[in-house]
Structure 1
Amino acid sequence: MTTETLSAPDPAALQAKLSGSSFYAAMRLMPPAERAAMFAIYAFCRMVDDIADDGTRPRAARATELDGWRADLADLYAGRPAGRAAFLAGPVQDFGLRQADFLAVVDGMAMDVDADLRAPDLETLDLYCDRVASAVGRLSTRVFGMAAEPGLALAHDLGRALQLTNILRDLDEDAAIGRLYLPRELLSAAGIATDDPEEAIADPRVDAACRALAGRAIAHFEASERLLRSRPGGRLLAPRLMGAVYHAILKRMLRQGWAPPRQRVRIGKPRLLWMIARHAALG
């Protein structure tokens, strides 16, 4: 099968996955053209992430499919029929989205396909966060209309803050599929020597490792908040809302702690609606 025969994303299915999420709420606050571009970026990320997380297929098959995405992106930017990537043509043209950032996302998914990450060192974890989160931020800040320097800075810090928060929230879900994103240096400092996901997160000392990682996430949140308070140009309501929601999730996790048994922290709909109204009023 050639990539040209593969289907584009199903908007209804993607909207169903997004509905009720803080990301969807942030997108709905954007003007139509920017909202459509962000939806396309999300659709791309969802499609390549589904490849990485599909444990029903061999790694080699998933790696080949990611290579197909690289080829589709190359065709898109060369002006050739782009297969699955064709739906990105409009946003790429309208907002100057960079091929390198889309490829970085694919490379991040490939890190999960090549081998399940288990207690990576801090440098590897930071590279992973850059690819799967900050690269998405670099695409997004172009849609937000930010200038290059503040856009790159916001993508760097907010992307890492959001991804580290996801890692801390998803300990149990990730362990169930054989992954442990907590860095080995922080696990070792907490007295945990194993990189077995289930064993590591069952150890009460994992709380210390998680709190150390949370400290890094907080530093990134604070840096992104300082940048946003400086009022750089662009439509910044969506990143403000995303930062506020995820920072609130992280603060709740810090209060609850990570020692087993854990409960997944969520932001309820009333709280989310209040945060939307507050940030919309602030502009």
Structure 2
Amino acid sequence: MNPDATPAALQQQVSGSSFYAGMRVLPKAEREAMYAIYGFCRLVDDIADDQQGDREGRARALDAWRGDLDSLYAGGPPGRAALVAEAVKQFKLDRADFEAVIDGMATDVDHDVRWPPMAELDLYCDRVASAVGRLSVRIFGMDEAPGIELAYHLGRALQLTNILRDVDEDAGIGRVYLPAEEIAAAGIPFTTPVEVVSDPRIDAACRAVAATAHDHYRKAHALLATRPRGHLIAPRLMEAAYAKVLKQTEAIGWKPPRRRVKVSKLALLLTVARLWLTR
């Protein structure tokens, strides 16, 4: 096995992330499967966001992952997909969800995403976030219908929160994920990424996107409140923590200059403790 794919190595990779506090309370098999999913996502995301590599080379790297997944699911040598092989076997993870994640990363490799139409943004969120959710809810042991619904809403809520939090960082590498419709409604001309996000009117566009994210959080929270079957501390943590990040970002606003909200590890641990006591 690739030494980077061992449970210990994967735990080390995820330990610095906001997911760690939630994942560490899972049973061993589920925890290691989630570390593997996180490792996969990190690796393909690094390919998509590698500003040093040329687009053709990065596209080939993503295609190599597709080939390894094809081989894994066909019973052949898994190559890099050995990272997720045990999780696939134990939790019957759907090949299409891994493919969707790669498709999302391929969007960033193919071109710098700038003010996509809302429908394209929603598809992007489904691929890079809700597809990860669909893999995760299988590992959490949720029934199919509530699991897919939770992945749909929570994945979109989390991704939109990241987009709203990372406006300046994304513009710095030539990307603006805010939807064209909201930018146009705010009266901002489509010029360059930095100019668009530096326009004070971007605040109105961001608040419209935030309203959509809040709606997804509300629906995810309502579903979790029904206490569906499964190990749900991790998604409850992500819903609680990132809804708070969105509210804090809203309170600051998006008129430049902006301050990026960070996730406090202490706050995450306290949230985990609260959720553990009230589960």
Asked if Structure 1 and Structure 2 have the same fold, meaning a TM-score greater than 0.5 normalized by the shorter chain, the answer is: yes
Aligned to 1:245: 241
Work out which of the residue numbers 206, 222, 227 in structure 2 matches 1:226.
222
Q: CA deviation at 1:22?
A: 2.4
Map of 1:98-109 to 2, 5 A cutoff?
Answer: 98-109=94-105
Distance 1:214 1:14 in 2: 33
Conservation of the 8 A alpha-carbon contact between 1:133 and 1:162:
yes
Conservation of the 8 A alpha-carbon contact between 1:51 and 1:66:
yes
Aligned to 1:43: 39
Distance 1:10 1:172 in 2: 35
Aligned to 1:179: 175
Q: CA deviation at 1:193?
A: 1.9
Work out which of the residue numbers 243, 252, 257 in structure 2 matches 1:256.
252
Map of 1:86-101 to 2, 5 A cutoff?
Answer: 86-101=82-97
- Residue 142 to residue 65, structure 1, CA distance change in 2 (3 Å): same
CA root-mean-square deviation: 1.6
Work out which of the residue numbers 149, 154, 158 in structure 1 matches 2:154.
158
Q: CA deviation at 1:10?
A: 7.2
1:142-183 CA distance string (max 9 Å, x none): 000001100000000000000000000111111111110000
Aligned to 1:116: 112
Work out which of the residue numbers 272, 278, 281 in structure 1 matches 2:277.
281
Residue 215 (structure 2) pairs with residue 235 (structure 1): no
Distance 2:95 2:85 in 1: 11
Q: CA deviation at 1:61?
A: 0.7
Aligned to 1:144: 140
- The one-letter code sitting in structure 1 at the alignment partner of 2:42 is R
Question: How many pairs were matched up?
Answer: 279
Question: Could you state the TM-score of these two structures normalised by the residue count of structure 2?
Answer: 0.96
- The one-letter code sitting in structure 1 at the alignment partner of 2:32 is A
Distance 2:13 2:29 in 1: 21
Q: Could you say what secondary structure the match of 2:19 adopts? A: helix
Q: CA deviation at 1:53?
A: 0.5
Aligned to 1:169: 165
- The one-letter code sitting in structure 2 at the alignment partner of 1:240 is R
Distance 1:197 1:127 in 2: 21
Residue 185 (structure 2) pairs with residue 189 (structure 1): yes
Q: CA deviation at 1:17?
A: 4.8
Distance 1:68 1:54 in 2: 16
Residue 203 (structure 2) pairs with residue 207 (structure 1): yes
Distance 2:122 2:224 in 1: 22
- Residue 25 to residue 122, structure 1, CA distance change in 2 (3 Å): same
Question: Could you state the TM-score of these two structures normalised by the residue count of structure 1?
Answer: 0.95
Among the aligned pairs, what percent are the same residue? 58
- The one-letter code sitting in structure 1 at the alignment partner of 2:142 is M
Gaps of 5+ in 1: none
Q: Could you say what secondary structure the match of 1:70 adopts? A: helix
Q: Could you say what secondary structure the match of 1:117 adopts? A: coil
Q: Could you say what secondary structure the match of 1:22 adopts? A: coil
1:226-271 CA distance string (max 9 Å, x none): 0000111111111000110000000101111011111110232332
76-85 or 259-268, larger mean C-alpha shift: 259-268
Distance 2:89 2:219 in 1: 31
Q: CA deviation at 1:55?
A: 1.2
